[in-house]
Structure 1
């Protein structure tokens, strides 16, 4: 196993330098750390800046010291999308459709189902003042397709999962076609541009199918994985720059509107632009510099808690704040809400570890029985030009 990432600017000689698979490369522990920090940032943004009634006043007035900084944690989902592009391509490269479908569904759904049930129980029976939802809405949310049925999210953070599902579908189609370097480069060049055209022209259905303005984040992450796998090259870097430009073009106006609407603060558009580009830069530093060799196994459990913490924190944390805010110091209340969210995330992850492997095996077995041609299909060469 090589210990350094070879830098290549031309087609490698496969006889001398065979490409590594995802299993050959050491784990990128720093990815676990940055994902967890992003989730914590989103949680703190929701608890101390985003509008809610749980503090008895606008959170921005309760935390005037931290609010102007924490509003920029609103970009946490965008960072997740770049990481997702990187990680899902790493998982899918050289695999077949049954494996990819089973691994993604088993990763996404079990913790989500538990979170939906837990939050629905909270809002229906324990704390109905938190949000007025119906049993019907809760049941539809279990599909993760509620936006297709024009049904509200039980928890607002679920919007990112609808984005992820559309990216997963695009990845499954790519896997079915066969992942090659050339096809990947074409995808990362055309997909974000087509999504942008559909968005600008108001072609709603096409924009939705192409993941709206979030396509550049996924494409950028995929390109960074390609260079992590094969080394630096001019064309992938040019495509990364293009995708960063599209991401900034979309994200800055969106988040200017979102943050000014949902908080008492007004973000700096230049800072939003720099931090949007920073989502790509963070993954690039982790994957393409000496940081990739960081050995910090203690970051793995934090990475594992990222998704459960993201799913469960918002309404359970607000409930704790609503209970405690009239009786305790604001910082103690905030710490208690964060602690509750982490404890719930640990429990959610424990259940996920029991359910997800079984679900993955069941789905993969069913798909292979139903479509044996998919499992027998040999993935196309990863170096075909």
Structure 2
């Protein structure tokens, strides 16, 4: 049917359960709220799932960037990996909303449509205080900020400093988070949101198409914009936003230690610092267990990375993006928990085969065709 490369099986073995945890979190509150309240007050499975995703991204994104060694190839790969399914899911959401099947974010009708489109297609809506077409896409905003910062560090040959950046972000998150408990990019600042969104688009475009100093300047500007958006625009609060970034850089530190760029001791210090600063970032007793178990699950999967996983587990990870994006739609369509999962899994297999896999193949072909030009 489909399979992940053997060297990435442990990452997909993490992604699958993480996506299921997020779907179960939302399905539990929808279908069995009384029972789920008892679970959720002990451990937030949604937090567990998304922090596993953040650690996995931190590990694999810089590796992908450095393996390609080309900024145009990196951004092309990301675009064809994420945007086709995101577009399809957003269109389906709007169609179902038009038919009266599910509700939309109330703010969608209050902001200029072109601005909402810009925010959702750049995946920065969470950091620009714009309404999301699909609620769970808030995590993609932090992923985008991390991409921007990773590209900037790669361009100026400072990517090896990921452990130090993780520690700096984590330690800074506490005092800055206490001083800026709420997003500074608030209200209906349409002009500010549009300007920042277009600035990110311009930075990516010049990074992909420019050369020499222009490319370097654009990459650095994009990285600074990504960091600024997290510090000033995190709707969850600056402390949590910076901890999310620090978590991804902690994942990168593990990759650096594996490659021998830094010592395992340095990577361990980064992970411990991030975890220590993350635990008090949210006043919720279920938050800390979710964070600890996310780091624990990542460590366990990494320790078992050379062992064979049950075949279904990495395959579940392959369709994890479909699981993540499509599951909110079914919450309003299906009547009970069992039917929800009976329909969700085949739907995600189909969406992977019909949308994700062909788009990824097309992206790879474009990258191969353009590489001689982009390296000239």
Scaled by the length of structure 1, the TM-score of the pair is: 0.70
Given the alignment of the two structures, is residue 45 of structure 1 paired with residue 25 of structure 2, yes or no? yes
What is the distance in 2 between the residues matched to 1:185 and 1:62?
40
- Taking a change above 3 Å as real, the CA distance of residues 179 and 298 of structure 1, as seen in their structure-2 partners, is farther
Q: Which residue of 1 aligns with 2:165?
A: 187
1:37 Cα shift?
Answer: 0.9
Aligned to 1:327: none
Match of residue 35, structure 1, among 15, 18, 28: 15
In the TM superposition, 1:74-93 aligns within 5 A as 74-93=47-66
Distance 1:28 1:363 in 2: 21
**Aligned residue for 1:145?**
124
Counterpart of 2:248? 218
Instruction: Report the structure, 1 or 2, having the larger helix content.
Output: 2
- Distance in 1, matches of 2:44 and 2:278, equals 18
CA contact (8 A) 1:119 1:312 kept: no
**Alignment match, 1:235:** 266
Task: Give 3-state SS (helix, strand or coil) of 1:303's partner.
Answer: helix
Give how far 1:298 is off. 3.9
Distance 1:65 1:209 in 2: 32
- Higher gyration radius (CA): 1
Count, aligned residues:
311
Q: CA RMSD in A?
A: 3.1
Asked whether 1:208 is paired with 2:229, we answer yes
* Cα deviations by residue, 1:176-235 (Å, 9 ceiling, x for unpaired): 122553x33333333444455443322846653455331221021111222233385322
Verify: 1:354 aligned to 2:322, yes or no: no
Structure 2 unmatched runs, 5+: 186-226, 232-240
Q: Indicate if the aligned counterparts of 1:119 and 1:155 stay in contact, CA closer than 8 A.
A: yes
- The answer (yes or no) to whether the contact 1:30–1:299 under 8 Å persists in 2 is no
* C-alpha contact (below 8 Å) 2:21/2:46 kept by paired residues: yes
Aligned with residue 319 of structure 1, among 302, 308, 333:
333
Which residue, out of 332, 341, 346, partners 1:343? 346
CA positional deviation for 1:62: 6.3
In 2: Cα distance, 1:120 partner to 1:67 partner: 30
TM-score under structure 2 length normalisation: 0.72
C-alpha separation between the residues in 1 aligned to 2:89 and 2:314? 21
Change in Cα spacing, 1:368 to 1:204, as seen in structure 2 (3 Å) is farther
Map of 2:318 onto structure 1: 304
Partner of residue 383, structure 1: none
1:48–1:60 Cα contact (<8 Å) kept: yes
Post-superposition shift, 1:65?
A: 6.8
Distance 1:38 1:27 in 2: 19
2:179 is the counterpart of 1:175: no
Counting only pairs closer than 5 Å after superposition, residues 237-256 of structure 1 correspond to structure 2 as: 237-250=268-281, 252-253=282-283, 256=284
Q: Name the CA shift for 1:311/1:92 in 2 (closer, same or farther; >3 Å).
A: same
The 5 A counterparts of 1:126-165 are 126-128=100-102, 134=109, 136=113, 139-140=117-118, 141-147=120-126, 150-165=129-144
Gaps of 5+ in 1: 1-24, 257-268, 322-332, 377-385
Residues 43, 313 of structure 1: 8 Å contact kept: yes
